[in-house]
């Protein structure tokens, strides 16, 4: 494992211990066939942001005003969310939905998490400073079939695997440089198997004369309840998802504060 991957794992160690305990408990009660993802069908989307680029477009957001080159999100992907296909706001009243859609996320109910998980989430999802965690739970997490703790533990586990992969290393090694579709697809396939690059979509945005990479959305098969106990991590989830168009053909991996 690379030094960069170890540095990522150290601040989130408590979270991984908590996830391992949770996974062991869950696996005892999940039928053997529940871990079989649907072939060629996307059930979930893992959305990850390249935070320095996001902050070029939203500099007044709290997490952007506080961003530094030493913070983890300067050189690795950050969690945007884990989305269920065609399902949102499950069991959420119209008043909370309206509040969420208004963008006043700090007015949404607090997401209660164990302290070690909450601390790890603050590192993995800088947008918690703008109550992104409340928005993501209300809109998407409530449709996952998981508790809030399970939902965010799973999301961070998948994010951690991505950041420790050849994809994470490719982006970290090219901060300030351009990356093209072929290289990114290749990194996905090197880490997660043949065809993995066909399950990824990239979003870019113009920033003056530059085109910067904002976000990746990665198709995953099955349901969160399956993924919670599925052995093999991201690879099988990506492999069994449906293919998608890559989107943006290439862009700059932005550095913190770049204009």
pLDDT for 159-189, tens place per residue? 999 999 999 999 999 999 999 999 999 999 9
According to the model, what pLDDT value does residue 229 have?
A: 80
> Which tops the pLDDT comparison, 258 or 132?
132
Tokens (6 digits) for 51 = 């935070």
pLDDT for 11-70, tens place per residue? 444 444 444 444 333 333 333 333 333 348 999 999 999 999 999 989 999 999 999 999
pLDDT for 142-160, tens place per residue? 999 999 999 999 999 999 9
* pLDDT (average), residues 79-103: 97
According to the model, what pLDDT value does residue 108 have?
A: 98
pTM of the full structure: 0.85
Name the residue ranges covered by the structural domains of the chain. 3-28+38-252
Fold exhibited by the domain 3-28+38-252 = Ribonuclease Rh; Chain A (3.90.730)
According to the model, what pLDDT value does residue 230 have?
A: 76
């Amino acid at each position: 494992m690379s030094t960069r991957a170890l540095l990522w794992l150290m601040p989130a160690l408590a979270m991984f211990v908590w996830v391992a305990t949770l996974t062991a408990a869950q696996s005892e009660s999940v039928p053997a066939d529940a871990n079989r993802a649907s072939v060629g069908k996307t059930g979930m989307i893992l959305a990850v942001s390249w935070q320095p680029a996001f902050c070029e477009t939203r500099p007044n957001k709290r997490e952007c005003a506080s961003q530094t080159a030493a913070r983890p999100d300067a050189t690795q992907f950050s969690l945007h969310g884990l989305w269920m296909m065609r399902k949102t706001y499950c069991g959420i009243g119209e008043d909370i939905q309206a509040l969420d859609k208004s963008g006043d996320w700090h007015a949404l109910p607090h997401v209660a998490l164990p302290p070690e998980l909450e601390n790890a989430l603050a590192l993995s999802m800088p947008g918690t400073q703008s109550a992104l965690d409340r928005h993501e739970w209300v809109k998407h997490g409530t449709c996952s079939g998981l508790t809030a703790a399970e939902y965010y533990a799973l999301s961070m586990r998948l994010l951690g695997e991505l950041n420790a992969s050849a994809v994470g290393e490719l982006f970290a090694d090219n901060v300030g440089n351009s990356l093209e579709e072929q290289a990114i697809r290749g990194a996905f396939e090197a880490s997660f198997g043949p065809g993995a690059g066909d399950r990824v979509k990239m979003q870019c945005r113009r920033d003056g004369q530059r085109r910067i990479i904002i976000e990746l959305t990665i198709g995953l098969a099955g349901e969160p309840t399956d993924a919670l106990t599925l052995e093999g991590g991201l690879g099988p989830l990506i492999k069994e998802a449906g293919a998608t168009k890559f989107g943006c053909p290439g862009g700059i991996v932005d550095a913190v504060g770049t204009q």
